[in-house]
Amino acid sequence: MITQFVITSGEQPKRLDVFLVNRERDISRSAVQRLIELGRIRVNDEVVKPSQKIRPGDKITMDVPKPEPLTLKGEAIPLEVLFEDDCLLVLNKPAGIVVHPAPGNWTGTLVNALLHHFQTSGGTVSTIGGKERPGLVHRLDKDTSGVMVIAKTDQAHRHLAAQFKHHTITRVYEALVYGVPKKGRGVIELAIGRDSKERKKFSARTSRPKASATEYHVDQRYGKIAAHVLLYPRTGRTHQLRVHLTSLGHPILGDQTYGGRKVCAIEQIEIPRVMLHARTLGFQHPVTSEGHEFTKLFPLDMEMISRTLESVSHGGFESKPL
């Protein structure tokens, strides 16, 4: 659908994308930027950049295409739903499942499971994330288990995304780590970004560092071989917890990418995956404004590793809750 309008007198100069997001409440800033870059939004019939400053008298032309139907297919993959209403769904993601489709993983993802769930229940799902990421406000790595919130409407998506952006979301993770941090608690502050040499990794060795901080608390020691750590991320960078714990000298057990082979088997205990779990997620409901908080403790595989570590540590060191 094509719409046109002229910037009225008195309008202060501002970025085109910012102006349109404030004017068009039903479209996200990222969607506006994509449309501008595709030439579907023009100023005075010219292709411009999202940073273009608009001024009184400018003619804006918007050609917003109808939403394309999702080509992904729903799959009957079991979901552990913790809460659901008309605008959002909270679930406990199991380890081993990829969150959204991507090359090499077009099926068997959490998105495929969600599409099947909504198709059979008659529910809707937010389209802001695009065809491959419907409803996804945030994500967890394949090997990370735990609590996630899914947006069922665009309004809920925007509201929840704003909470993540402004760090008003309550998030608590737990991990089993290699060795025991010297300090029982502390804050890891390390700017990270995509690694300049190994593009699949994130580190402080980057051309685009982004400030990041993680608070940690050692909850239990397994002798000197490992520890159970609670993590409170103050920012939400990709692989932040994994990188920060590695920088502390205590990579997460099972995380070969950042800890090497030594963390995949400890005291002859085979570690089946990255021992990281999103334990608690709290947020303000997009419609009622009520506070919601959901907690899921250790999944079975982490519980078994924890018990085995405790048993092994009793052979030489006492396991002490702090």
Give the residue numbers marked as catalytic: 141
CB-CB contact of 244 with 214 (8 Å): yes
Name the nearest CA neighbour of 141 among 170, 102, 107, 112: 102
22-30 contacts at long range (C-beta below 8 A, 24 or more positions apart): 26/154, 27/64, 28/128, 28/154, 28/157, 28/158, 28/161, 30/128
CB-CB contact of 133 with 283 (8 Å): no
Q: Mapping DSSP to helix (H, G, I), strand (E, B) and coil, where does residue 89 land?
A: strand
Per-residue exposure over 20-41, b if at least 16 CB sit within 10 Å of its own CB, e if not: bbeeeeebbbebbbebbeeebb
190-198 contacts at long range (C-beta below 8 A, 24 or more positions apart): 190/243, 190/244, 190/247, 192/237, 192/239, 192/240, 192/243, 192/244, 193/237
Rounded CA gap, 247 and 91, in Å? 31
The Cα-based distances of 307 to 65, 270, 301 in angstroms read 55, 13, 10
Rounded CA gap, 95 and 44, in Å? 51
Rounded CA gap, 250 and 170, in Å? 24
Rounded CA gap, 177 and 219, in Å? 11
Determine how β-strand 276-284 pairs with β-strand 291-295: antiparallel
